[in-house]
Amino acid sequence: MMTNEQLSALIDELTIDEKIAMVHGATLFYTTPVERLGIPQFCFSDGPMGVRPEYQSSDWYLKGFTDDYVSYCMSNSALASTFNRSLAEEAGEIIGEETRGRKKDMILGPGINIQRTPICGRNFEYMSEDPYVSGEMAEYYIKGVQKHDVSACVKHYALNNQEEERNIVDTYVSRRALMEIYLPGFRKAVKQGKALGIMGSYNKFEGTYCSHHPYLIDEILRKSWGFDKLMVSDWGSIHDTTEAGNAGIDVDMRVTNDFDDYPFADPLKEAVASGAVSMEALNEKIAHILTTMDALHMFDYKKLAKVNPIFAPLGEDENGKKIKRKHGRYNATSSGKKLLKAAEESIVLLKNEAGLLPLKQKKIKKFVIIGDNANRQHALGGGSAEIKALYEITPLLGIKMLLGGNTEVVYEPGYYNYVIGNAWGHDANGQGGGLNPFHQPTQNEIDILNQRYLASAKKACKDADAVLFIGGLNHDHDVEGADRKSMTLPEDQDEIIEELLNVRPDMMVAMMAGSPVDMHKWADRVKTLLYFSYNGMQGGMALARVLFGKVNPSGKMPYTLPKVLGDAPAHKLGEYPGTDKTVHYNEDIFVGYRYYDAFQVDPLFAFGHGESYTDFTFGDLTLTKTACEKNDIDGDISVTVTVP
Ligand code: BGC
């Protein structure tokens, strides 16, 4: 680890131009190296479901390479529903190893903003409505990632709880709710997870952009939590050179290609020259970057030692052995197996009232599967979280792979999904960029197709031994940059489900979504109901294995499923999306289950709900609080129950 003496000596070696080059993007994901000193460029990559495909250096077009296919890990909301720290660590390890394998330095994840409103477009990238679950999962994910000489980047600090007007919305929330709900996850990620990276958010807090915020960044993150590593902006979240230059944010990345005009490029050089930003403040940024690079073993140690012998020890570990940065790898064969286990554990069985599950393979000669999500791949969608998956097993594929040749598996679309591809509008080769190139059918054409699909599905399921509807959302709805307009299922799925239930009251329903959907119209009529988020490359196989009892479901909802959107506290007590670009979180600390519990509002399914195939009772519940020191907010409460 760099000593203070070495750090100051290295900073002293740098010219102002070299310092400026280190604190802003020279391409969309890279800073500039200082080659003469052995300081490399720093490379960021999204995140958080795996390593994003390669982009042109100054245009938002995919390069269309064939060597950037990677493991498609699950979304953060899926990971959180495992409630399993070891799986978070294991997923983090895969992502970390692949980040390094793809020659990147920092993976832009995990996302841990609190799922305040059910309709936030990025809920799928976030863990939970609960700060404890978010923090615990983040801590272990980060520990996993950082085993591979790459950094995690916990995002978006802070209060980025809606996509609607995300670039400008000004958030007002009480200090209590800030401390008890919105910041504890970040605190844990920094203090326990030892995250080496954090990303500022786009929005404002109390009138100031979060990425320049003296209170959020300097007081809390830097002073109170002691974070002394790299803070990067969100892409374009810095708006004022002087404000941000004087705050503890280090690197300015953006979505535009006017690299020299970035606030931390020429404008920062001028601000330092005029004294508007002190050299001390700039040096502090450089110190954060250099110590992060040191922790990741990024330097060219030979070169550095030649500059000044004082740097020679940096290239050796505590036993005097030469430091070699881990090389990582990607698409290891073992990853598929690990991701299968994680996906299995993330599937939530909401109800199994008629005991239809697990299905008995031998008894099912004809299995009818209806719905767009049975047959849709999701990896390359959602915005910056997109992944070029090495493979992605859809539910239909997984079920067919598992059942083999003795069962007739019939697929019926059930309804026409008329938004094709991801809302960010490109295909896997980077073509299309922007506009959806496909023919948009007219409403009349859609109606005709829907009638045909529904009639066909009804007919097919009449004599089936089992019928399963797999619907929900996709990345046209769970997407960065836009919230959903409501919680209602798209493509008239409510009506279709009800029509199908008239023919097959025993139809099982599975909802695939990264956030809550409104199921209140038909939830009582359905006896078998499953819920899961975007589950990665093995998602379809995991579902098949749960359905056929190869594995006992154990996922739990990481957020509440309200009956209707109006029940959600952000909508009932608070403001959403706010007015005049300002939003007040009047629900205060009553976020998620805290609200439903305290205000006695029945959700459709509660936070933490999740059944298994095992019946058991429990009793003798006792709670024990461990003594905790004054002002220690991390005291433990142990829960003991007897399972006879
Ligand atoms: C997103 C970040 C992402 C960044 C880089 C932004 O639009 O908000 O989460 O990491 O782009 O792609």
pLDDT digits (tens, 9 = 90+) for 517-565: 999 999 999 999 999 999 999 999 999 999 999 999 999 999 999 999 9
Mean pLDDT within 28-35: 98
Cβ of residue 235 lying under 6 Å from some atom of ligand 1: yes
Structure tokens at 278: 């002190």
pLDDT band at 34 (very low <50, low <70, confident <90, very high): very high
Collapsed DSSP state (helix, strand, coil) of residue 425: coil
d(CA 371, CA 235): 36
| Atom in ligand 1 nearest the alpha carbon of residue 253 | 5
DSSP 180: I
Q: Which residues pair with 528 in a beta bridge?
A: 352
| Known active-site residue 234 | yes
Sheet holding 106-107, edge to edge: 44-45, 106-107, 151-152
Mutation to probe ligand 1, out of 28, 29, 31, 46 (largest number of atoms < 8 A from CB): 46
- Taking alpha carbons only, the member of 427, 370, 418 closest to residue 395 is 370
498-506, Cβ contacts within 8 angstroms, sequence gap of 24 or more: 498/522, 498/525, 499/454, 499/458, 500/370, 500/414, 500/454, 500/457, 500/458, 500/461, 500/467, 500/469, 501/525, 501/526, 503/458, 503/461, 503/462, 504/461, 504/462, 504/464, 504/467, 506/354, 506/356, 506/467
Cβ of residue 349 lying under 6 Å from some atom of ligand 1: no
**CA 235 – ligand 1 centroid, Å:** 6
Give the 3-state secondary structure of 211-268.
HHCHHHHHHHHHHHCCCCCEEECCCCCCCCHHHHHHCCCCEECCCCCCHHHCCCCHHH
pLDDT digits (tens, 9 = 90+) for 182-211: 999 999 999 999 999 999 999 999 999 999
- Taking alpha carbons only, the member of 454, 600, 539, 616 closest to residue 77 is 539
Check if the beta carbon of residue 531 is closer than 8 Å to that of residue 122.
no
Collapsed DSSP state (helix, strand, coil) of residue 404: helix
pLDDT digits (tens, 9 = 90+) for 614-628: 998 999 999 988 766
Q: Is 601 left (phi over 0), alpha (psi -120 to 50) or beta?
A: beta
pLDDT digits (tens, 9 = 90+) for 327-350: 999 999 999 999 999 999 999 999
Bigger pLDDT: 443 or 246?
246
Per-residue pLDDT at 635 exceeds 90: no
pLDDT at 104 (0 to 100): 98
d(CA 35, CA 303): 9
pLDDT at 629 (0 to 100): 67
Mutation to probe ligand 1, out of 27, 59, 230, 234 (largest number of atoms < 8 A from CB): 234
pLDDT band at 495 (very low <50, low <70, confident <90, very high): very high
CA torsion angle 237 194 559 466 (round to 10)? 110
pLDDT at 627 (0 to 100): 67
